[in-house]
């Protein structure tokens, strides 16, 4: 049984990195007047509250979005999405990636989401079906295989596993290669933790061998609490859209400025 619940981690530094780059990519993709598909294999619940017991217990959002928000340039699409979510759901609301995508997409675009945790799927349905999303209570890897190549063919897939199952590291290069073979124009965005143990390194070496032109962006940060094994977070993007490298560099500088400011 899966025990990971994103409510404890929503709005943390890893979320800010992932969600800021995701919003920028969706901004690029929606500039063209052509429909697109958004697929998310590990969706979570789509909407969180930063004043919920889970968020307050870890304090990760307080170290994350609360401290980083002021560093985004005015008009950044992530700031726009945050403002929209707060206007609809209150000042303590924080959007998960499916809601960020739903807010970025247009009529005619498609949204496919999967999660395996019954509680998360119920909340995801309540939060995202009103946006026209197709929500499945099934293994996200299986959903992605079944959907690809999707219609419309332009689009993006976010793969954001909780890595509770150690085999996820081993499976990822094979999984992304299979998806890329079926959907060679799709943008594939994989999130991974940077761990004290180095468990992510072998996966990255294998991914880089298959996708030498992918964009890799990593940020480092202090452990969320004493003994925490995560030292930072990374994104591996196959078929990165033009402009993403510049946005990634801007984000690196933003995280570096935060590290230099006592929290």
Ligand X SMILES: C[S@@+](CC[C@H](N)C(=O)[O-])C[C@H]1O[C@@H](n2cnc3c(N)ncnc32)[C@H](O)[C@@H]1O
Positions in the binding site for ligand X (CB under 6 A) = 2, 4, 6, 15, 18, 41-44, 96-97, 114-117, 120, 139-140, 160, 162
Cis peptide before 149 (omega within 30 of 0): yes
Please choose, from the candidates 183, 246, 233, the residue with its C-alpha nearest in 3D space to the C-alpha of residue 204: 233
- Residue 10 vs 29, nearer CB to ligand X: 10
State the minimum distance, in angstroms, from the CB of residue 143 to ligand X.
8
Examine the residue annotation and report whether 115 is marked as an active-site residue of this protein.
no
- Residue 36 vs 114, nearer CB to ligand X: 114
State the minimum distance, in angstroms, from the CB of residue 146 to ligand X.
13
**What CA–CA distance (Å, rounded) separates 12 from 57?**
13
State the minimum distance, in angstroms, from the CB of residue 125 to ligand X.
13
**For residue 28, with 0-12 CB atoms within 10 Å meaning exposed, 13-18 middle and 19 or more buried, which class applies?**
middle
State the minimum distance, in angstroms, from the CB of residue 17 to ligand X.
11
- Residue 49 vs 117, nearer CB to ligand X: 117
Please choose, from the candidates 192, 141, 205, 203, the residue with its C-alpha nearest in 3D space to the C-alpha of residue 169: 203
Instruction: Determine the residue with CB nearest ligand X.
Output: 96
Partner residues linked to 39 by β-bridges: 112, 157
Give the DSSP H or E segment for 217: strand 215-220
Q: Which of left, alpha, beta for 122 (phi over 0: left; psi -120 to 50: alpha)?
A: alpha
Q: Which of 15, 109, 160, 168 is catalytic?
A: 160
State the minimum distance, in angstroms, from the CB of residue 161 to ligand X.
6
- Residue 52 vs 116, nearer CB to ligand X: 116
- Residue 159 vs 258, nearer CB to ligand X: 159
Q: Which tokens go with 140?
A: 């996200």
State the minimum distance, in angstroms, from the CB of residue 170 to ligand X.
14
What's CA 206's distance to the chain center, in Å?
A: 21
Strand order in the sheet with 110-114: 134-136, 110-114, 37-40, 155-159, 187-195, 230-238, 215-220
Measured in Å, how far apart are the chain's first and last C-alpha atoms? Answer: 36
Q: Which CA distances in Å does 15 have to 6, 128, 178, 200?
A: 10, 19, 26, 18
- Residue 44 vs 173, nearer CB to ligand X: 44
**What CA–CA distance (Å, rounded) separates 68 from 199?**
28
Residues taking part in catalysis:
160
């Amino acid at each position: 049984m899966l025990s990971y619940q994103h409510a404890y981690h929503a709005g943390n530094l890893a979320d800010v990195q992932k969600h800021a780059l995701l919003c920028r990519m969706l901004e690029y993709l929606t500039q063209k007047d052509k429909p697109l598909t958004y697929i998310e294999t590990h969706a979570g619940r789509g909407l969180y509250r930063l004043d919920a017991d889970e968020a307050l217990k870890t304090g990760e959002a307080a170290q994350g979005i609360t401290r980083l928000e002021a560093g985004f340039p005015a008009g950044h699409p992530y700031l726009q999405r945050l403002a929209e979510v707060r206007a609809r759901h209150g000042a303590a609301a924080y959007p998960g990636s499916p809601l960020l995508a739903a807010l970025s997409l247009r009529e005619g675009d498609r949204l496919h989401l999967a999660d395996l945790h019954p509680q998360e799927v119920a909340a995801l349905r309540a939060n995202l079906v009103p946006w026209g999303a197709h929500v499945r209570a099934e293994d996200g890897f299986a959903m992605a295989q079944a959907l690809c190549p999707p219609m419309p063919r332009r689009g993006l897939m976010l793969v954001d596993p909780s890595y509770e199952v150690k085999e996820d590291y081993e499976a990822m290069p094979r999984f992304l290669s299979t998806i890329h073979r079926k959907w060679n124009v799709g943008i594939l965005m994989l999130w991974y933790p940077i761990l004290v143990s180095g468990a992510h390194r072998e996966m990255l070496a294998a991914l880089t061998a298959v996708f030498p032109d992918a964009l890799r962006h990593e940020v480092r940060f202090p452990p969320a609490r004493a003994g925490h094994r995560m030292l930072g977070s990374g994104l591996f993007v196959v078929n990165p859209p033009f402009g993403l490298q510049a946005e990634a560099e801007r984000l690196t500088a933003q995280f570096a400025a935060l590290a230099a400011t006592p929290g």
